[in-house]
Chains A and B, each alone.
Chain A
Amino acid sequence: MGRRWIAYRTLAGKEIHRFLRIWPQTLLPPLVTTSLYFLIFGALMGPRIGPMAGFSYIDYIVPGIVLMAVINHSYANVVSSFFSAKFQRHIEEMLVAPMPNWVILAGYLTGGILRGMTIGALVLTVATLFTDLRPTNPLLALAIALMTSLLFALAGFINAIFANSFDDISIIPNFVLTPLVYLGGVFYSVQLLPEPWHRLSLANPILYMVNAFRYGFLGVADVDIEVAFLLVGGLIVVLSLWAWWLLRRGVGIKH
């Protein structure tokens, strides 16, 4: 086995072990919150809201809520793990070792993706208590979920590189990510919005991911699916290069 592979496995294993060990902080809260969404918006209010794009309201919102969990937790895992490695300085254990930067990056991203996807799967399981929704195109749904997870793991990594305090790792999630997710068509079809809100919504990249994921379940979307894949793929390339370049320059981790 190659040295780089061993190093990657060590780091990825450590990252996975970390979120499993602190599961009451990492796995439990999203289950509680999303169950409440399903209960309130789906079961209690859904029938009064009526159908959306031809589907019952709960079926319409389940994919968005699942993807929202994937986004939040892929991001949160990497931003908090990498920042605390910086803060407690055990990042130095990796910097002294013969680990290429991309191995470090890949190890953290693996942790973020696994946490995001694990929580996505758990939330989807909870949803089956409220609806018997089945994906029409599971592969497409899985692909866009994985890509979205990777993208937000990357974003969390970059956030952690620039962060100097614990405040810095909560600003982006609270003031950028949450609004974009809520306005990204998780709870409604943007077709219903008047201008200029409809056009403005189309500038929100999360809208494309939510809709592509929903398309995998329901076969309907407010946007072009190919555009969604191209957009997410393009953003992944850009953020990967950026993250790798930052690591190489030692920004935020080397004097």
Chain B
Amino acid sequence: MTALRLHRLRKIYDNGFEALKGIDLEVAEGDFFALLGPNGAGKSTTIGIVTSLVKKTSGKVEICGYDLDRQWEQAKRCVGLVPQEINFNQFEKVGQIVLNQAGYYGVPRRVARRRMERVLKQLELWDRRDQVSRRLSGGMKRRLMIARALVHSPRLLILDEPTAGVDIEIRHSMWDFLRELNRQGTTIILTTHYLEEAEQLCRNVAIIDHGEIIEATSMSRLLDQLEFNSYFLDLRRETRVVPDVPGYRIEVLDRTTWAVAVPRRLGLNPLFQALDERGIEIVDIRQRRNRLEQLFLQRVGRPMGEAA
């Protein structure tokens, strides 16, 4: 069973810009799926079409086996959306926002009240249920959008950068929450700029760039493709002559900082040995690029988030 199937999905905006160039994508039921891509790649456009906020130009969308054009009521009932930007009524109370959303999905009032209580408790917002939503903190607003998306118990939850602007601690508790939700059977698709997030959470991944899917595979296979890891090395003393260590690429950034590309097949030991033999002392080592960023660079030939 597939939770989501996109077939040759195309979007040309009114200004003539082609944001999606006919993408194909399949997400299995029960999956935890990442849609990765730099700014403007077409992630929100894709999600917008799947959730009926954006009109497609052509192509087909199937949600939980239902065609979004022909069986739109069943299809829509399967999905919950956590949008990229805050979109609830800022003057309405937290509990009311969740209850209204349940009502729009046709959940009877009595059931809706129970579910509202459950999701607000799960997302630690129950104490705030009578507060006007405008007065929540940024992290609480994000959580409110998750609560709202879950109140009709969707089989597929789609989150468009859910942890943007959320501090580390809350981000981790949101991750735990999403993992548990997925474990209990909800299919989850998320887009994110925190690539670590995709690594931490997702089993499968698609990389989208300039409106095209350039890779769709499992997270582990994707990481296996990684040829290099990149690090910063902090040196104890200024070192003018850059040693030639076979297999490694060393780049001088300033007097005491080097950047080095380390082939995965070699690892770090030979490098440290060679530097040690030359009397070069390393005081610190830091990861330069997240592994997925490195991967993006490798596949696309430019860093994520940079224009082609």
Contact = CB atoms under 8 A, between A and B. Distances in A.
Interface string A65-95: 0000000000000000000010011101111
Nearest to B50: A96
Interface in B60-114: 72-74, 76-77, 79, 81, 83, 85, 87-90, 99-101, 103-109
B48 A93 contact: no
Contacts of A98: 72-74, 76-77, 105-106
A255 B106 contact: no
Interface stretch (B51-59, B116-124, B170-178): B51-59
Nearest to B88: A90
Contact of A11 (B13, B81, B104): B104
Contact of B14 (A2, A85, A93, A255): A255
B13 A7 contact: no
A99 B102 CA distance: 12
A139 interface: no
B13 A97 contact: no
Contacts of A254: 52-55
A97 to B, nearest CB: 4
B51 A96 contact: yes
B100 A89 contact: no
**Chain B interface bracket (under 10, 10 to 19, 20 to 34, 35 or more):** 20 to 34
Contacts of B74: 98
Name the residue among A90, A97, A250 with the largest chain B CB count within 10 angstroms: A97
A53 to B, nearest CB: 47
Contacts of B13: 255
Interface string A1-39: 111101101110010000000000000000000000000
Contacts of B88: 88, 90, 93
Contacts, number: 76
Given A88-B90, A89-B85, A255-B13, A7 B106 contact: yes
Given A4-B106, A7-B103, A97-B76, A255 B87 contact: no
Given A90-B89, A92-B87, A3 B54 contact: no
Contacts of B76: 96-98
Contacts of A255: 13-14, 48, 53-55
Nearest to A253: B53
B217 to A, nearest CB: 29
Nearest to B83: A92
Given A10-B100, A98-B106, 16 more contacts: A1-B108, A6-B107, A14-B100, A85-B89, A88-B88, A90-B89, A93-B101, A93-B148, A94-B104, A96-B81, A97-B104, A98-B73, A98-B74, A99-B104, A254-B53, A255-B55
18 contacts: A3-B73, A3-B106, A6-B107, A10-B103, A11-B103, A85-B89, A89-B85, A92-B87, A93-B100, A95-B53, A96-B79, A97-B101, A98-B72, A98-B105, A254-B52, A255-B13, A255-B14, A255-B55
